[in-house]
Structure 1
Amino acid sequence: MNDKPLDVLAIGNAIVDVIADADDAFLSAQGLDKGSMRLIDEGEALRLYDEMGPGREVSGGSAGNTAAGLAAFGLKAGFIGQVADDELGDIYRHDISATGVSFTTPARSDVGASARCLILVTPDAQRTMNTFLGAAQRLPAAAIRAEEVASAKILYLEGYLWDPEEPRAAMEAAIEAARASGTKVAFTLSDSFCISRHHGDFVRLIDDGRIDILFANEDEILALSGKDEFEAAVAAVAPRVPVLVVTRSEKGAIAVAGDERAEVGAEPIERLVDTTGAGDLFAAGFLAGQTRGKSLADSLKLGAIAAAEVIQHYGARPEADLKLLAGALL
């Protein structure tokens, strides 16, 4: 694995994030549950966009955020995701490429509009996400090149992309290419609603030995395991994957690999601004550590550092120098 030129190749939804401030009254008027994530159609995306206050646009999507975080740590990251041949697609390509991530998936003119996520951030830093998947859910299996997967130490996949049939087939093809080439497979469960919709598929991936590193948060590990208590959920899932990583917000995170267990507390912050991308950047830090042969504890620490940085400003892309923050850890 050490002679592979790409550290991590991520596959996920290519989404432009539109981030704007909102208060609880606005959420209530729009019928939105604070902190939720919902899928919307193009018409609702246009309507809500018109109702929102001023926003800023940045390339996003869970796996894309992780790839950008890896690049910020100085690692070589690639991204596969589908955009349309339109203005937002151009914004996405320029923005993610500018972070240093290799993004070569061709735009398509037959997939509707590029995806966007309208993110409303309340004063308590909670984000309410309204996602129009558009072109992102049209990633074809033909976009997966076995030689590109083989060139990476780790293939990183987001559960959000498992919904539509076309990208699901692409991700299956990528997993097969990874297994054939010695590339490790990392998978993030993404959201409890993904687990409820695809529980059988996710369990099959785990129990068939097709996932090497599984990322979850506390709610997701409970949903996956069917347990009501955190430690019971960890005990049920950890023996079934080589590495299990579970984030717990302000309670830190744990990682389990066989008989080894490591824990890390959340890094101190000056001010909580926006939790968008916290899990994505945590994954970036952990994967950065793992590709560099670091211990579970050091990898968790790198994840905590990246997550703490990103929640202190708007958007899911790091603004501080993660290499400097990592110091001797990387």
Structure 2
Amino acid sequence: MGRPLPLQPRNRAVVVGLQPVALIDHVAQVDWSLLQDIPGERGGSLRVTEEEVLTILEKVKEWAIRNHMGEVIKKLAGGSVANTIRGLSGGLKVPCSIVGARGDDNLGRMFQENLEKAGVDLSGLRVTSGSTGQCVCLVDEEGNRTMRPCLSDASHLRAEELTRDDFKGAKWLVLNGYGFYWPNLTEKAVELAKEEGARVALDLASFEVVRRSRTRLLKLLESGKIDLCFANEDEARELMKSEGLESPEECLEFLGNFVDTAVVMLGPKGCMARRGREVARVSAIPGIKAIDTTGAGDLFACGFLYGIINGLSLEACCRVGCCTGAGVVLGLGGEIDNSAWDWVYSQLQYQQLPVRDNLSKSSVLLRHESPQVEVQVL
């Protein structure tokens, strides 16, 4: 792997995202008949080779031809952190950058162009000789996804390549548990970000990550260097197994012992958040038909962080997160498209949440009503 090179001069970002591996998602909505031909169990994530990725994509194209459909595969920059950063930068106009590595191939250039279009600063994205990671995301008619990632030979960022300049001037560092797959990378990023005075937001990523990296995860939480932590219900249960606890409420209290703000995302049931003694529980926006749940947690985190950055109350942060999380499930992939952003902006306005002047003032509702979100403060 060649020496990393910066892409462009740095513009200081409010939020820096750490994504060790650039990733291109191949997203397609298919039916069960196709999924029966894909190796592995339906749902979840199973790592595959590049050859297997090409085979699956060919099966998708053949299925589309048999069913007299056009191009069904949507390609876009993927990865949890990239999804969050793209939403903050492109949709909510928060200056962001991403730190990581991409290959010097067509997929790497596609990753770069997609994030550049959203206004993300890529001066921290290294370009190395090698391939860019990719993931096939097959979505069924109910919005459930089956993922087949290929990362084994992908270009990736190493801990020793990080510098303080990657985080200089940032107010927040956003990272997730997938960084634990590389030795000392997450810990080094947190250390450098803290030296620059940034706060740190950690998403637990998946229950598999929690299971595999629980010792490192708990050590990092116990260090007191994580300011904000996101977990979904599955991750929360996995984290609490050895504690003999299972409920989201118990996990929220547990995480609150180590971080300033803890959030447990409950999918269609909304979310719970804790900051000190304050606890808020917010219902999800009703009446939403999910086309694809890819990126729902990532875009929830995007909205919640927007609220934190702008000094909103805990309840309001949750409500913004529910709006952005709902916005992404209206289409395929972990990106909110322009029409769905109009819907998100209209929701923020309807709920009388602060909307910055540089955000859209459109009131397009995408055939969805604007319901009142139920809020319970415990």
Q: How many residues align?
A: 322
The separation in 1 between residues aligned to 2:354 and 2:154, in whole angstroms, is 35
273, 277, 301: which is aligned to 1:259? 277
| Equivalent residues of 1:269, 1:308 under 8 A apart | no
TM-score by length of 1: 0.92
* Higher Cα radius of gyration: 2
AA paired with 1:43? E
AA paired with 2:87? G
| Equivalent residues of 1:274, 1:314 under 8 A apart | yes
205, 215, 218: which is aligned to 1:190? 205
1:86 CA drift (Å):
0.3
Q: Summarize the alignment of residues 294-313 of structure 1 with structure 2, pairs less than 5 Å apart.
A: 294-313=312-331
Matched, 1:326 2:348: yes
Q: Summarize the alignment of residues 215-294 of structure 1 with structure 2, pairs less than 5 Å apart.
A: 215-226=230-241, 227-294=245-312
1:5 CA drift (Å):
5.0
User: Structure 2 unaligned runs (5+)?
Assistant: 1-10, 62-71, 356-378
1:284 CA drift (Å):
0.3
The separation in 1 between residues aligned to 2:52 and 2:102, in whole angstroms, is 19
Matched, 1:106 2:106: no
Deviations 1:4-39 (A, max 9, x none): 952210111321110112222322222433321122
- Which of the pair is proportionally richer in helix? 1
160, 164, 171: which is aligned to 1:153? 171
The separation in 1 between residues aligned to 2:186 and 2:194, in whole angstroms, is 12
1:329 CA drift (Å):
2.4
Worse overlay, 29-38 or 61-70: 29-38
1:135 CA drift (Å):
5.8
**Structure-1 residue corresponding to 2:16:** 9
Worse overlay, 13-22 or 203-212: 13-22
**Structure-2 residue corresponding to 1:92:** 111
94, 98, 108: which is aligned to 1:75? 94
The separation in 1 between residues aligned to 2:250 and 2:316, in whole angstroms, is 25
The separation in 1 between residues aligned to 2:73 and 2:304, in whole angstroms, is 30
The separation in 2 between residues aligned to 1:79 and 1:151, in whole angstroms, is 14
1:141 CA drift (Å):
2.9
**Structure-2 residue corresponding to 1:36:** 44
Deviations 1:141-186 (A, max 9, x none): 3543313313111100021232133xxx333222111222220011
SS at match of 1:139: coil
In structure 2, do the counterparts of structure 1 residues 293 and 33 end up closer, same or farther at CA, with 3 Å as the change threshold? same
Q: Summarize the alignment of residues 203-222 of structure 1 with structure 2, pairs less than 5 Å apart.
A: 203-222=218-237
| Equivalent residues of 1:18, 1:119 under 8 A apart | yes
1:45 CA drift (Å):
1.9
The separation in 1 between residues aligned to 2:83 and 2:225, in whole angstroms, is 23
TM-score by length of 2: 0.81
| Equivalent residues of 1:225, 1:237 under 8 A apart | no
**Structure-2 residue corresponding to 1:173:** 188
**Structure-2 residue corresponding to 1:121:** 139
CA RMSD, Structure 1 to Structure 2 (Å): 1.8
1:237 CA drift (Å):
2.5
**Structure-2 residue corresponding to 1:132:** 150
AA paired with 1:95? N
Worse overlay, 80-89 or 20-29: 20-29
In structure 2, do the counterparts of structure 1 residues 93 and 190 end up closer, same or farther at CA, with 3 Å as the change threshold? same
1:125 CA drift (Å):
0.6
SS at match of 2:102: coil
In structure 2, do the counterparts of structure 1 residues 97 and 202 end up closer, same or farther at CA, with 3 Å as the change threshold? same
1:302 CA drift (Å):
0.8
User: Structure 1 unaligned runs (5+)?
Assistant: none
Percent identity, aligned pairs only, is 30
Deviations 1:171-203 (A, max 9, x none): 322211122222001110010000111000000
Which structure 1 residue ranges, 4+ long, deviate > 4 Å from structure 2? 134-137, 322-325
AA paired with 1:139? L
| Equivalent residues of 2:22, 2:156 under 8 A apart | no
SS at match of 1:65: helix
